């Protein structure tokens, strides 16, 4: 249990070091997606526990794709539409476009690599975050705790580093509100992960939610 908590703390720590201390989005991507989301599960499940690849995938929740795909797609479409309409309607209240642009510039977001940025934020972000939180951390916590505790803890860890990014991109108040919303979404995704015994529902709906966020980026910020 203590080990899982420590591993979970690495996520906000990598975000804080990369964005706040080093002001570098590329390094943050490397630390978080590479170092945390991929390397840690691989070392534990493959090298330490020596699971065969099929057991690694099953432990992370890669099963029951056909049973869960249609539900994941419908939920994802709802998220996409809601996010786009929400930001479109409340643009002036939520988005300080000049401040967001300045923060992204300070983090070394290069407009010339917008296609790569979109790929990372839509596909890599959703897939790797779900592999780590609703996959690896979920699996590790299930070994010690009941399902409700697992869902709450993974959601809390998941929301923790979003607080860093949202406060820096928007404001303390907006960041706190968004992080509480993200915690709630994490609870729902955790419930779906448990309900379907599959990572595909949270992963696919997460991907489409990120697509909605990137549509907002292209419309208002890029």
Domain boundaries, the chain: 2-221
Q: What token pair was written down for 167?
A: 């406060």
Round to whole Å and give the CA distance between 41 and 137.
9
At 15, the pLDDT band (50, 70, 90 cuts) reads very high
Round to whole Å and give the CA distance between 195 and 127.
19
> Average per-residue pLDDT in the chain?
92
Round to whole Å and give the CA distance between 20 and 79.
29
Round to whole Å and give the CA distance between 80 and 7.
30
Rama region for 63: left / alpha / beta (φ>0; ψ in -120 to 50; rest): beta
Q: What are the tens digits of pLDDT across the range 75-117?
A: 999 999 999 898 888 777 777 888 888 888 888 887 788 898 8
Residues 6+ apart with CB under 8 A from 192: 75, 201, 202, 205
In the predicted model, what is the mean pLDDT of residues 132-156? 95
Share of the chain above pLDDT 70, in %: 100
Residue 99's pLDDT is 85
Round to whole Å and give the CA distance between 15 and 164.
8
Within a 13 Å sphere around the CA of 69, how many CA atoms are in the beta-carbon half? 4
Residue 10's pLDDT is 92
Residue 170's pLDDT is 87
Contact criterion met (CB below 8 Å) for 204 and 69: yes
Q: What is the chain written as a DSSP string? A: -HHHHHHHHHHHHHHIIIIIIS--HHHHHIIIIIIIIIIHHIIIIIIIS---HHHHHHHHT---HHHHHHHHHHHHHHHHHHHHHHHHHTHHHH--HHHHHHHHHHTT--GGGHHHHHHIIIIIHHHHHHIIIIIIIHHHHHTTS-HHHHHHHHHHHHHHHHHHHHHHHS-HHHHHHHHHHHHHHHHHHHHHHHHHT-SHHHHHHHHHHHHHHHHHIIIII-
Q: Residue 8 above 80 pLDDT? A: yes
Q: Residue 207 above 90 pLDDT? A: yes
Q: Residue 31 above 80 pLDDT? A: yes
Q: What are the tens digits of pLDDT across the range 49-69?
A: 999 999 999 999 999 998 889
Residue 67's pLDDT is 86
């Amino acid at each position: 249990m203590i080990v899982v908590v420590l591993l979970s703390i690495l996520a906000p720590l990598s975000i804080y070091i990369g964005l706040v201390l080093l002001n570098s989005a590329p390094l943050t991507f490397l630390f978080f997606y590479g170092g945390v989301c991929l390397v840690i599960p691989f070392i534990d499940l493959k090298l330490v526990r020596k699971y065969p690849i099929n057991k690694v995938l099953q432990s992370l929740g890669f099963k029951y794709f056909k049973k869960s795909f249609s539900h994941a797609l419908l939920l994802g479409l709802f998220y996409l539409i809601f996010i786009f309409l929400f930001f479109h309607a409340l643009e002036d209240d939520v988005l300080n476009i000049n401040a967001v642009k300045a923060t992204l510039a300070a983090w070394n977001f290069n407009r010339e690599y917008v296609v790569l940025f979109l790929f990372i934020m839509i596909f890599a972000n959703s897939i790797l975050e779900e592999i780590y939180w609703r996959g690896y951390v979920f699996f590790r916590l299930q070994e010690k705790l009941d399902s409700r505790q697992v869902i709450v803890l993974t959601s809390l860890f998941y929301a923790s580093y979003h607080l860093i990014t949202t406060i820096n991109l928007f404001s303390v108040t907006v960041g706190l509100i968004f992080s509480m919303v993200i915690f709630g979404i994490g609870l729902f995704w955790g419930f779906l992960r448990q309900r379907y015994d599959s990572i595909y529902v949270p992963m696919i709906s997460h991907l489409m939610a990120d697509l909605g966020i990137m549509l907002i980026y292209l419309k208002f910020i890029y």
